[in-house]
Amino acid sequence: MMRTRPLKVALLGCGVVGSEVARIMTTHAADLAARIGAQVELAGVAVRRPDKVREGIDPALVTTDATALVKRGDIDVVVEVIGGIEPARTLITTAFAHGASVVSANKALIAQDGAALHAAADEHGRDLYYEAAVAGAIPLIRPLRESLAGDKVNRVLGIVNGTTNFILDAMDTTGAGYQEALDEATALGYAEADPTADVEGFDAAAKAAILAGIAFHTRVRLDDVHREGMTEVTAADFASARQMGCTIKLLAICERAADGASVTARVHPAMIPLSHPLANVREAYNAVFVESEAAGQLMFYGPGAGGSPTASAVLGDLVAVCRNRLGGATGPGESAYAALPVSPMGEVVTRYHISLDVADKPGVLAQVATVFAEHGVSIDTVRQSGKDGEASLVVVTHRAFDAALGGTVEALRKLDTVRGVASIMRVEGE
């Protein structure tokens, strides 16, 4: 039976995502009501520029006073899509205190202050949902939090930023350099005017923190995630990758240690075999591999950003929260009972591809091999080429500690026969 009083929704932010959320709420109102069991009413929209024309939104709903909107007391759900840390954090906690549940797409805030926000939601008996904070329309948080709740997740490996994937895919398929590929991504609207958050891995690191926390039932903050950007990836790196039967992706990797006693979370460029499903994720798409003990390998794939895909995730959360509201219940909150320590990058074990510029003379390979052996790093393959007194030496290692590899590279730089370290890249997905 349909409830007579509508559930009231306050929308914070009306940009690309917020305007699409408002549009879907209006055009699909009947379907949403049927799925929820009550009408959903847009009760207010908080914006910074009230004079801007917003098609399909009653100007009477628009306000610049977001605080007053979330304090009204008759708001059932607040949808936060303004991003950033403040004022979003204060607005969300204020909404809880005044009786509203919250749906957010704010990855930076959840990664930094998720524990405190969950505590505030629990204190007031309200929901905090944020499917849209990671990988856009791809259902990922809910499967990890609910569908795999009875399983043990050991690894989450994925491409969670569409901008960087578009750039790296263009470099791979067209032979373009980094700047040329970035310019194309900007022209097509995939990259922001300031792409730093994407290309330096900040966006992916926030998502990795959220995924690791949910997957391993452990609080993982943004500061716990090792982060490397992809601005130094070159056409030569792609050429080396192709010789190995690989390509290069910016990956978010969250892993449980082999002994189960700790976890790691990291974001960095890596070579992956062309046979791996992630190697075939093209353009601005996202894809995430989840490896668990009972379910095995699962792959989630789809558009990871944009107004419509992100709004789809927001609306999915809105339906779930509204159903909880009608039932007088709340959904899953934070699960951090495992409280596993987060290991630093130096304790991560992985394979490496190291390209060296060396003198083209006898004994160089022996010197380099000795340095690797002295630091406990086992060599898998070596490829050497050169002429006219200069040469290139490419070494691919077996799995080794990151800290051991760091010492190896330092020692290599001190060799008279090593002119320079052209590139170092991890190899994943074997």
Q: How far apart are CA 288 and CA 249, in angstroms?
A: 12
Tokens of 42: 């847009």
Dist. CA 49–CA 39, nearest whole Å: 28
Identity at 40, one-letter amino acid code: V
Element housing 293 (H / E): none
Q: What is the DSSP string of 147-203?
A: ITTTS-EEEEEEE--HHHHHHHHHHHHH---HHHHHHHHHHTTSS-SS-HHHHTSHH
Which of the following is catalytic: 71, 207, 387, 414? 207
Rounded Cα distance between 271 and 425, Å, is 7
Q: Which of 409, 325, 385 is nearest to 76 (CA)?
A: 325
Instruction: Provide φ and ψ at 123, rounded to 5°.
Output: -60, -35
Angle at 223 between CA 221 and CA 228, to 5 degrees: 120
Q: Could you confirm whether 207 is annotated as catalytic?
A: yes
Two tokens at 85?
């840390």
Task: Give the whole-angstrom CA distance, residue 30 versus residue 128.
Answer: 25
Spatial CA neighbour of 132 closest among 284, 314, 272: 314
Write the Ramachandran bin of 340: left for phi over 0, alpha for psi from -120 to 50, otherwise beta.
Answer: beta
User: Is residue 237 packed enough to be buried (19+ CB in 10 Å), middle (13-18) or exposed (0-12)?
Assistant: buried
- Residues involved in catalysis: 207
